[in-house]
Chains A and B, each alone.
Chain A
Amino acid sequence: MSARLSLRRRLRERGLDAVTLLVLPAVVTVLALFVYPFLYGLMLSFQPKEGGALANYAKFFSDPFLYNTIGITLWIAIPATLLNVVLSIPVALRVRLMRSQRLLTTILVIPITLGTVMVAEGLLTYLGPRGWLNRTLLFFALTDSPVRLVHNYWGVMLSLVITGFPFTFLLTLSYVTGIDKSLEQAGAMLGARARQRFTRILLPLLAPGLAITLALAFVQAFTVFPSAILLGAPAGPTRVISIVAYQAAFEQYDYPLASAIAMLMAGVQVVIIVALLAARTLVFRGPASTGKG
């Protein structure tokens, strides 16, 4: 009896007691919906329809029509991510000083709630050859022929900015508002001009948050699918890796190959995210304020 009691006590001292059981539903959900499918997909990718265990991967990397999609996707995802994050910094710095912050934030968040398909449909009609934009440009004779902004690289890019920006903006805003305003004032008192205050005080303190924002924004952009098809040229310049995975799975019914492609997608994302987070450790990671409040 005493041994049992002391075990229970030892567990409690490590933070384990009956309340700990409350994590079970979450653990089960994660195991069932994430870990199991992932491991299943990983195993499946090593069981190709023909050939050895690595045949799917060998096939992917021997066919430029397949392996080029990694480059194509990165060529869309990286600029879109950088654009969104870089753009979000000045906007967040400005919005933080505004009074009607909520209204603006609500307006910016609407694209997230609309979803990519809706945004894509809107852009198709608005930017298309007979859309408002081109009609206006033609009417004022600013251009001779309609500007092509959809069914190519730029269409996908625009859609990624429209749906991705609110997301990065909200994250950046929360990091920016976490920086004590008196730090900038202290910088100004010590002779630092706006530019120096930004590069020497704000940016270093923002860097860890920006690394996280970049990582999350990149994952979103790298897995672009609906807008690549609807707004892009899915057979050419915007044949992103998720389209190839989709075709393997639902057009060729080659689940093992689709799994292998999915694993490669995950691999590319992990490499980029690890690189970002590693870069984060090179800069300051402590709290963005000091002193006893």
Chain B
Amino acid sequence: MAILSRDFRALRLDRVRHDFGQMHALRDVTLTVQRGEFVALLGPSGCGKSTALNCIAGLLQPTGGEIWLDEQRIDGIGPEDRGFGMVFQNYALFPHMTVRRNIGFGLVTQRRPKPEIARRVEEALALVRLSEHGHKLPGQLSGGQQQRVAIARAIVVAPPLVLMDEPLSNLDAKLRLEMRAEIRRIHAMLGSATIYVTHDQEEALSLADRIVVLIDGKPRQIGTPEELYTRPADPDVAEFMGYRNLVTSPAEAFDGGVAVRVAGARLSGTPMAAVDASAVVAIRPDDLHPTSDGPIEATVEIAEYHGRDFYAVARGAGGTELFFRSAVRVRAGEAVRLNATQERVLVYPAAATS
């Protein structure tokens, strides 16, 4: 029986820890999720994002810290009493029940009257556009359909919080795009909060209102997709957000910027924090282009055709590997001069790399 109200204001994680023996899966995660928000937990595999989700769900007991839903502390409450909806990575549909009975399961355990269950199951089926498949067993559905059943089953009980654990990772690329839109649409309709675990930065960027980047069990940066994309807090986050060019460099501040050296060439950058003599430079491949007068001289090693443009790897002076994007055709062995604008060259103090 769901005892937690749907009309909550905020879910609060206060220094939540989880240790598996000597392994610290989560270290002091503090986070507030407002009602109506779509929050993505983003991080490389093994960063603790699923552990965090399971702690919120109640499937794992945090070894330290507190979880609050408004004024109620919930980390001691079992998953069956939290009433949160959860979509599992492998969907976890009950294979012996029809789609209808799968979706109705949460309402049956709440002992709702039969007509109400039937009505709400039909509504949920319509919401995920599976009305014709209600009589089937999960095994008779395609991956995308199973996925939608899992979502319908999680939301039919009108949970205050919907938790999703890499729900799209088992689907093919086209279906992933479709389901992304679907998830966003359902989230908007429900008005509850969604916490979404993924390792795919593109997915997080396109879905979430806010992204939490978890690295080694610790939130490194919490912000809007724009903030994370354009201004990662440190080189680790930058690397994870697609800044593939990470170069250590001497740094020299000048009025309105900082001068760095990338592959032997001088480049103007934007300091992301107080930078001293040595720095880490982060440049996204999308921001590094060949131009006729670019300062960085390099030789193309690999060029991949991506339709609209080329993604290429070049080697500069001192053997520095550089990833860049080019609108014009480049070929392996070709010499290029690369350039990036000052605001897209991010400079971090070298000590920030942990």
Contacts and interface: CB of A to CB of B under 8 A. Distances in A.
B143 A291 contact: yes
Contacts of B157: 190-191
Contacts of B45: none
A287 B138 CA distance: 11
A192 interface: yes
A237 to B, nearest CB: 42
A287 B1 contact: no
A192 B153 CA distance: 13
A192 B109 contact: yes
B93 interface: yes
Interface string B1-28: 1100000000000000000000000000
B80 interface: yes
Interface string A281-293: 0011011111111
A191 B88 contact: no
Nearest to B138: A290
A145 interface: no
Residue from B2, B83, B92, B157 whose CB has the most chain A CB atoms within 10 Å = B92
B88 A190 contact: no
A26 interface: no
Contact of B88 (A182, A200, A283): A182
Nearest to A182: B92
A292 B143 contact: yes
B96 interface: yes
Contact of B80 (A180, A193, A205): A193
Contacts of A183: 92, 94-95
B342 interface: no
A290 B91 CA distance: 8
A289 to B, nearest CB: 6
B270 to A, nearest CB: 44
B85 interface: yes
Contacts of A185: 59, 79, 86, 88, 92
B140 to A, nearest CB: 9
B79 A289 contact: no
A183 B97 CA distance: 12
B146 interface: yes
A188 B78 contact: yes
A283 B96 contact: yes
Contacts of A289: 90, 95
Given A191-B2, A191-B157, A291 B137 contact: no
Interface in A178-197: 180, 182-183, 185-193, 196
B109 A291 contact: no
A290 B88 contact: no
A201 interface: yes
Given A187-B105, A190-B157, A291-B143, A180 B92 contact: yes
Contacts of B138: 290-291
B106 interface: yes
A187 B96 CA distance: 13
Given A205-B96, A288-B95, A191 B106 contact: yes
Given A191-B2, A191-B80, A193-B80, A186 B143 contact: no
B215 to A, nearest CB: 26
A204 interface: yes
Given A188-B80, A190-B106, A191-B157, A291 B57 contact: no
A204 to B, nearest CB: 5
Most-contacted residue by chain B among A182, A189, A193 (CB, 10 A): A189
A196 B94 contact: no
B96 A284 contact: yes
B242 to A, nearest CB: 27
A282 B90 CA distance: 27
B110 interface: yes
Contacts of A182: 88, 90, 92
B333 interface: no
A204 B106 CA distance: 17
Interface in B317-342: none
A286 B109 contact: no
B84 A189 contact: yes
A201 B102 CA distance: 11
Contacts of A291: 90-93, 138, 143, 146, 170
Contacts of B143: 291-292
A288 B139 CA distance: 10
A284 B97 CA distance: 8
Given A190-B109, A191-B110, A192-B109, A290 B80 contact: no
A193 B82 CA distance: 12
Contacts of B92: 180, 182-183, 185-186, 291
Contacts of B57: 189
Contacts of A293: 90, 170
Interface string A269-291: 00000000000000110111111
Interface string B95-127: 110000000011001100000000000000000
A10 B109 CA distance: 56
B99 to A, nearest CB: 11
6 contacts: A186-B88, A186-B92, A193-B109, A283-B96, A286-B95, A286-B137
Given A185-B59, A286-B137, A288-B95, 18 more contacts: A183-B95, A185-B79, A189-B85, A190-B109, A191-B1, A201-B94, A205-B95, A284-B96, A286-B95, A289-B95, A290-B91, A290-B95, A290-B146, A291-B90, A291-B138, A292-B90, A292-B170, A293-B170
The 4 closest A-B CB pairs, nearest first, are: A284-B96, A190-B106, A191-B109, A182-B92
